[in-house]
Structure formats: structure tokens, C-alpha cells
Structure 1
Amino acid sequence: MNINFGLTADDYSNYRVQYPEKLFIKLQEFGLGEKEQSLLDIGTGTGFLGRKFAEKGLEVTGVDIANELLNVAKKLDKEQGLNITYVSSKAESLPFDENSFDIVTAAQCWHWFNSVEVLHEINRVLKKNGKLIILHLDWLPIKDNVVSKTEELILQYNPNWAGNGGNGMYPDWLTQVSEAGYRNIETFTFDLDVNFSHDAWRGRIRASAGVGASLSDEGVKKFDTDLKKLLNNEFQGNLIIPHRVFC
């Protein structure tokens, strides 16, 4: 399945769920997020994670292969008066010198990378005693909830989509980073409910890999019409969508 998140740039910036402040408070317990730390955000997309750190006074650089998303990121930064450097590059071949960053972050993107290659590159650009943060914030399909029904509809349009049925936990990451030589590995997770209007949920789904990043324009429009019908018929009013943060 060919994935191009550049096709979803507008919906991506408008409807992707932001990481909650609870996450950044937790990261501060590990000394992560201090002013003037240098941070590289790989797979930065529209910069939704990097901006949070830039707001806290970190020196942030973002990397992504989708120039459409980087253009949106620059626009949002300008609106908020933030100064983030963006580079168009694959995460597996980073155009930075050795020992350049205190922190490397990867949010909502790790599963798209060649983990062996990207971990080698991260190890190269991290300073001695630098830290790697891998994050995911996932919706949770629970029997017959709006998420599971939405995933069923996505599979009708895109049978090759592999993003359904997740539980928001990624134990394989621990093996990958251990085999790459990383030590003192810690994890944490917490759940939260996110409120969505019908329009916002449709926008969020259009911005997903299984819909806007892989279907044709006509396919996206037909899917969106069917999702609207599903929501109107089975889920009146605002939607409470369960999510899980895994770090």
C-alpha cells in the first residue's frame, strides 16, 4: 500500500490529536524538555510535537520526507512566533554531524522506519548520554464503539490497511532499541478520552494512513460520505474517543 501523508496536509494539521500536557510533565521527570536542550524530531509531520518543545525553550529541528507537511509546519510556527528548523530528509539518512543533539524524538512514525538503520543514525547524531523518545498516541477500538465501527468501514475501502485492531502498546520497540545497544530503557503509558464532533472525527480519519494517505480523491470522498452516514445513524451527538499514550 503506497502511503503519502502529504496528501492529507490540511486535515493532518487541523484534526490530529495533540499530545496532552501530562506527557511533558512526565518527561520532565527524566530531565527531558529543559530549556536550551537541542532536540531533533524525526518524522515531524506538521511539527505538532516539536512545537510543544519549542514553546518550552528547546532548540528544535524537524525532519520529514513530505514537503507538503513541512510547509504547513512552517506556517503554523510563524503564526505562533516559533523558530524551528526543518529539513527534508529520510530518517534513515540524517544530514547532521555526529553528537549534534541532546534528544531525538519520534512520534506517530516509528512503524514507518527501518528500525535498524534509523537507530544507527540516531545513535550517530545523539550526544553522549543523549536520549531517544519514541511516542505513540492511538485511538482504541473497543467492541462496537465508534473506533471499531470506523475501522470496519476503512477495511471495506482499503482491505490492505494494517492499522486496525491495535491496543496502543508496542513491546517490539523494546527489543529493537536493546539490540541496537541502547540501555536504561524505561516505558510508561496512560489513557485519555478525547472529545470529537462528527466533523472533527471525519477529518481525523481522512488524515489517516488508511484513508487520505492512500485512497484516491474519489475514494476519500465516498468513504467520507459513508462515515458521515454511519455517525448520524449510530452515534448521535459528540463522540468520546478513548486513546492511549505509549512512550
Structure 2
Amino acid sequence: MTFTRYAIYYAPPAEAAWSRFAASWLGWDMEAGLDLSHPQVHGLDVAAITDVPRKYGLHATLKPPMRLAEGQTRSALEDACAALAATQKPVTLDGLQLARLGRFLALRPAGDETALMALAAACVTELDPFRAPASEAALERRRGAGLNPEQEANLSRWGYPYVLGQFRFHITLTGKLPKLQLPAVQDALNTHLLPLLPAPFAIRDLALMGEAPDGRFHLIHRYALSG
């Protein structure tokens, strides 16, 4: 398959009960490359709620989507991901918790995030030679959200504002929701997903992802953290 962009994700283990439910909630299995049936939840249009994040799959971004720089290849990126993962240790946190981030819902880690922040920073910085510079139009779109000085510096240097000190690990579960709808969706996820969430929560590999021409992201390979 030909991919237009690549990204480094945390991709939850496909066999875990919590990730099976959450992937079906989103409606896309990025590991198998298949649409999934949404769970039936009374009073909620799950397909509409998850329309925006669906194409990305169940994930947390570590290195944001990027086009390959001139002269770089997918094969070289794969080799670099393997080399990076071999220098990094698995990360263990206390667990996952449902959180509101503005007007969307996501899973956030519980516990000390120091090692997690370091892992994400390594992905951003060590793999940056593979990133083609963002277009001026793309930079201006990012600036339209209103950036603080650190975010602006990140955007200029790394092509994305929310990295390094501005990074917040999150596994997105919805698009932006009307304020009045948030409580009902949160209640549904508390009922169906919360009891399945792992404690402790471990990150054992890096997932190299590719964006197909239709915008859907697919898992290319997992690289075990073995440092």
C-alpha cells in the first residue's frame, strides 16, 4: 500500500478487551485495515460522535503525521524506528482515565508521566530528519488556533505546536461535541469502557503508521521498546 504521510503512535494492544471496545467505538481497526460496527448505545449516534477521529484509529500520537523529506524512504524510516525503539525502555503508568479535553473526550494517563514525556520527545526529535518541512499554508492554519510562545517555537522547529513541553498524551475517543451532549457521552463511556481500562497501563512498543490516500491510518509495524 502507498502512504502519503507517516506517524509514530502508541497503538493499544489489539487483543485487550478495552482496546477492542474502544476500536469498535471509533469504527476503524487500523491493524486489520477494516471498518468495525459501532456499539449500540441508547440515545447516542456513536458514528456521528466519532466521525472526526475515526480515520486515525485508536491511538495516542507520539510523532505527528509527516510527509517524508526529500531523499528519505519508508525503508529508512522503518530502520530508524527499530533503532530508536531499541534504545527506549517500556513505560508503565498507574492506569488510564477518561478526561474532557476542551469539548472532546479522551483517555489520559494516571501517574508520573516523566518517562512517557521523554519517550514522546525522543520520537519527535530523533525521527525529525524524516519530516518534510510544513508548507506555509499549513503553518498558518496551526497559528489560527492561537499559540503561546512555546507552541509557536515548536511549530517553527518541529512542524507541530503540541510537542515536547506542550505534549499531552491522549487517546481520542470523540470529535468536538456540543457542551450539552458531553455528559451523556461521558456517562456511556464510564459505563462501557471505564471498567475495562488497564491498571497499571504499559506502553511496550512504538507503532509506525501510514496514511492511505483516503485519509485512513494503517498500522505498518510495531517496534518493541527494548532499551
- Asked if these proteins are the same fold (TM beyond 0.5), I'd say no
Question: Comparing both chains, which one has the higher relative contact order based on Cα–Cα distances under 8 Å and sequence gaps of 6 or more?
Answer: 2
TM-score (norm: length of structure 2): 0.28
Richer in helix (by share): 1
Which is greater in Rg? Answer: 1
Q: Structure 1-normalised TM-score?
A: 0.26
